[in-house]
Structure 1
Amino acid sequence: MRSVFLLLILISFISCQDEENKHSPDESQKIEEIIEKTIEFAGGENYKKATISFNFREYTYKSERNGLEFSLERQFTEASDSIRDVVSNSGLQRYVNDSLRIISDSLLSRLNKEIKTVHYFAHLPYGLDNRGLVKDLVGDTQIKGEPYFQLKMVYGQAAPGVAGHDEFMFWIHKNDYTLDYLAYKFVEEEDGIRFRAAYNPRFIKGIRFVDYKNFTFRNPNTDLSELPELYENNELELLSTIDTEILRVEVKE
């Protein structure tokens, strides 16, 4: 089983390299420069040494990073029990009232994806330089009169566990290098599409956080690049606002 898993990673790595090789050196360099500047503006190296706690819906989340070491937590109370799920370099562990519990493989897989997904969105644009992403610059556009790069990204086998998402589009401001809009397609019980518009940007301890207005569109086969025009024409349906209450941010010196 271990050899099969390693083979899948190798195949994914080669596939990503093949996709990257479709770009000219100048195109590849431009894509990486856009991503590097976006991450740098939003927090850069601070992400790699930060502890961040936040509330989202009925859960409290906490992330800790120290270089390549990481810990992603989700805490909640159920039937008077305190439950803490922790995803780290070692995998996922569940604690009930601080006692380690054994859980089924199916539940473990679902929790792993759910926890990573919430942390992934909360910490964007951190992670956009992940090697498991096949990246493509699909031109420029304007949204609300502002100029944007359009970056399409597709996850390979080496993706960071984002549940049910395989195709993303990110709109990065051409002058400010802020990630202001994103969209993705997903396949769960049925196909779906989401478009998120960032609002309430704020910096805490040198890291940029935003909230989102979360939209959908009735046709899940719509190309993601068409969504900004639909958004400006008020043709998207507002599903919810995604507000993240930041509780604590600490960045190690």
Structure 2
Amino acid sequence: MKYLVVVILFFSFLNCKQDVREDMSAQSLVDRTIEVSGGHLIDSTIIDFDFRDKHYMSFRNKGVFHLERRFKDSVKETKDILNNKGFMRLIDNIPFAVRDSMAVKYSASVNSVHYFSVLPYGLNDKAVNKELLDDTTIKNKAYHTVKVTFNEDGGGEDYEDVFIYWINKDTFKVDYLAYSYNESDGLGLRFREAYNERYVKGIRFVDYNNYKPENPSMPLIKLAELFDQGALKLLSKIELENVTVN
């Protein structure tokens, strides 16, 4: 009888644990993946890295943010700054007037690189909407699937973009993501595979293989299945170099 009670308690514990895993909400999943990726540290750090031919620096502190991009040509240095006050361009440290339409374009470009560099940090912003989708299997591993959309108010210039994140059920890390965005001739689709994971002073950084489907009208959620079948085209690699955290 004693052994029977132990067996019953053991399986009850397993069932409770399974129920907890299955009952996780989109919000709790995002909270967990931000935690394991060191997102709580980003609010009080200066992060520097190089991406392609440009240098990026960010500073965040409890809602205050300063995002920077620097690059040089043969005669001058350009510095783009995006912060709580808006966008500013400096050339050789002298303010340079930028047309409003171009300021929007430059702001989006600066923000995009910084946004991807520290994902999933940022997914708890007020303008973000999260929805839990059906679980997915990719390369024989099980994933929670979270869809992210943005409110127009506070969602930025690209508020109509849609993201899907595949969160590893064992590690609670984002291994894959996909997103749709507006192009001049229609909708663009991208799928990213994380690799080269490393932690720098407690913050997780990854690089990405960047893919697209042959059929641009393919539903975004189907990109994981196409990737698993080897049916996506590799466009580029997103690699962050010389990452430092202070």
TM-score range normalised by the length of the shorter chain:
0.7 to 0.9
Q: Which residue of 2 aligns with 1:168?
A: 163
Name which of 239, 242, 245 aligns with 1:246: 242
Partner of 2:67: 72
Residue 158 of structure 1 deviates from its aligned partner by 3.3
1:100 Cα offset (Å): 1.4
Question: How far apart are 1:159 and its partner, in Å?
Answer: 4.6
Which of 205, 227, 230 pairs up with 1:231? Answer: 227
When residues 50 and 154 of structure 1 are mapped into structure 2, their CA distance, relative to the original with a 3 A threshold, is same
- Could you tell me which residue of structure 1 aligns to residue 50 of structure 2? 55
Extract unaligned runs of 5+ from structure 1.
1-26
Identical aligned pairs, as a percentage?
A: 38
Matched residue, 2:198: 202
In structure 1, what residue type is equivalent to 2:132?
L
Contact 1:193 1:217 in 2 (8 A): yes
- Is the CA contact 1:164–1:187 (under 8 Å) kept in the aligned structure 2? no
User: In the TM superposition, what whole-angstrom CA distance separates every residue of 1:166-213 from its partner, at most 9, and x where no partner exists?
Assistant: 111110011211000000111112222110000000000000000000
Q: Judge conservation of contact 1:182–1:197 (CA < 8 Å) in 2.
A: yes
Does the Cα contact within 8 Å between 2:197 and 2:204 map onto a contact in 1?
yes
Distance 2:85 2:145 in 1: 35
Residue in structure 2 matching 1:85, options 80, 91, 98? 80
Q: Distance in 1 between matches of 2:51 and 2:203?
A: 18
Q: Tell me the distance in 2 between the aligned counterparts of 1:211 and 1:49.
A: 23
Q: Which runs of 5+ in 2 are unaligned?
A: 1-21
8 Å CA contact 1:116–1:160 kept in 2: the answer is no
2:91 to 96, 104, 125: 96
Instruction: State the alpha-carbon separation in 2 of the partners of residues 187 and 154 from structure 1.
Output: 14
Q: Distance in 1 between matches of 2:159 and 2:69?
A: 19
Alpha-carbon distance, 1:164 to partner: 7.7
Greater RCO, 1 or 2 (C-alpha within 8 Å, sep 6+): 1
**Aligned-residue offset at 1:135:** 1.4
SS of equivalent to 2:25: helix
Q: How many residues align?
A: 224
CA distance in structure 2 between the partners assigned to 1:58 and 1:236 by the alignment: 27
State the TM-score, normalized to the length of structure 2: 0.86
TM-score by length of 1: 0.84
Spell out structure 1 runs of 4+ moving beyond 2 A.
158-165
**How large is the RMSD of aligned CA atoms in angstroms?**
1.8
Bigger Rg over Cα: 2
- 2:27 matched to 1:38? no
How big is the shift at 1:78?
Answer: 3.0
Question: Displacement, 1:28?
Answer: 10
- Superposition map of 1:147-162 within 5 A: 147-161=142-156
Write out per-residue CA displacement over residues 30-88 of structure 1, whole angstroms, 9 at most, x where no aligned residue. 11110000000001320100111111111111001111111000000134111111101
Alpha carbons 2:149, 2:159 under 8 Å: kept: no
Q: What is the CA-CA distance between 1:105 and the residue it aligns to?
A: 0.7
Distance 1:167 1:56 in 2: 24
Name the amino acid aligned to 1:245. Answer: E
**Contact 1:185-1:220 at 8 Å conserved across structures:** no
